[in-house]
Structure 1
Amino acid sequence: MNISLRQLRVFVAVAEVLSFTRAGEALGLPQSSVSTQLRELEEVLGLRLFDRHTRMLRLTEAGAEILPLARKTLADLDAVVGSSAELKTLGRGRVSIAASSVQAALVLPRVMRDFAQRHPGIRVELFDVSQDEVLSMVHSGAVDFGLGTAFGSGHQELGMRPLWHESFFAVLPEGHPLGARRDVTWRELLGEPLIGPRQGNPVRNVLDFALAAEGLVLNLRHEVSLPLTIAGMVEGGLGIGILTSSMRQLAHAFQLKLLPIHRPSIQREVVLVLHTGRSLSPAAKQFSDALIASARTEAKANGRPARR
């Protein structure tokens, strides 16, 4: 059965005014086209929809039963078209993001606030998870994209869009002997009780790879999953924490001192994590563009080269 939308619109228009001429005027169609469309619809359905008399047009019983169904079909289609137009023009929509706890707490809120002011009809849903979960959530399609640490080529169907680099710092409790220093080397730190990310974590992988190239091995006294836990354990006197520069605000809140670590100077790259097999919705694309623009503005303000 092949029924066209034009046939349904003609049928509803004629049923509402009971006149081929006035229905044609409302639709911008000649009377002959209205008659043809209606006749073809009746042939497809195998039903007579109107009783035709010399000066009168009346719905048949079958036509009266089909009319509300035709109206609903057209209304549903108009709703779909209207919704797609709103999605395209960012009048409404949804964006879902998975981000490591640091980025979720210290980077994304400002971007979300500015985005909400420009696009109040779009809902942004943020999942603050571990680095590993960022990759798995993007891969499974649970979120539109992720924000996390650069990873190797072993993750099929995942791609990266570089955003910025972050340096590593030693985080010291109040009164620590190293607190008088301006910086510290990795070799000097390796003899201290250290607190940092667990093995297998993307941030830990960056550290292990860079230190191994210098013949150094990172042995941590305490391995944890979340940067907040590292800061809390340092504040509690359990050792020296290893955190990135994005944690500066949190470390200051705990009244901890940050020392740059050199020899070697190690950086981790923060990236957008994307699924290569799926395109972003207009709303998600707009938010990712806003995040990229924010990263460039932040890099320029801090004298860092913008990532492309």
Structure 2
Amino acid sequence: MAKRRHKGTDEILLIPFLDILCSLIGVLILIIVVLCVSQSQQTKGRTPEEIKMAQEYKDMLKELKEREKLQQLVIEKLAKLKEVQKNLEDKQLRFVKLRKILDSSKELKEQNKEISQKLQKELDDLLTEIDGIGRQQKDTQKEIELLAAELKKRQVPPDKKVPPVVVQPSGSGMADTTKVYFVECSSGALKVLGAWGEDYRLAATPSVVVADVAYNHFLSEVGKDKNSLILFLIRDDGQGAFNTGAGRAEADYSIRVGKLPIPGRGQLDLALFDKYRGKISAPPTPGTAAPTPAEKKS
């Protein structure tokens, strides 16, 4: 018998299935990209190690504040104990004087019977007060010992040092011709890091930044190279110092500046920038007039 041929409509078409599969893969890729971008924005571009160090720094600040409170409480307790001891000594001295009066001759006692009764009553009151002060002194001393033990337990071990902060280039890197100079910004101060072989620190007030000879020499020399970049490393409390120092460099000397937030208080490690770091000549001796932007252009 002849085999029956299948009609064209009986064939299985895979094209709709492949379309659905490709669409599903595209949606998954889009979700992954969105999650990566969202995670990067939440951490502000910081690495997990930097976030961990920043959290440890916050915990350490909290611990230091608690230790300061405990130490202040111990000082107050010690002052109170000293006052109690002085009061006790005064009471004991008075007790001795009253005892001498009571131990005087019988004739004097009879003549001063009324006074003696008052003194006896006062003596009893003093004994009661001395007993109460003694108990209070013991309680205070015990509380001071507990606070001292707690303070000792909270002390940071001498061998536990703050880890260094490794400064890493951000973005896709920089050109090989770029010369990078670093300025650390902290509370009320700027520090030029090794631009001429050693660090230089100055106050971050507008009057000092404008008149400081070494800092303006630094800006003048860096401004001569169009490929130069001053990277300001901003500590947690250094935003004001950055505004003053970077404003002078950018507005008056037309120098390209960048900024990089630095978490924690560890020492800065700039090893990853070694091949980009620039060097300038040492600043003039103190007493020389500070360079100005006008002199730089001439």
| Structure with higher helix content | 2
What is the TM-score of this pair, normalised by structure 2? 0.28
TM-score by length of 1: 0.28
In terms of Rg, which structure is larger? Answer: 2
Greater strand fraction, Structure 1 or Structure 2: 1
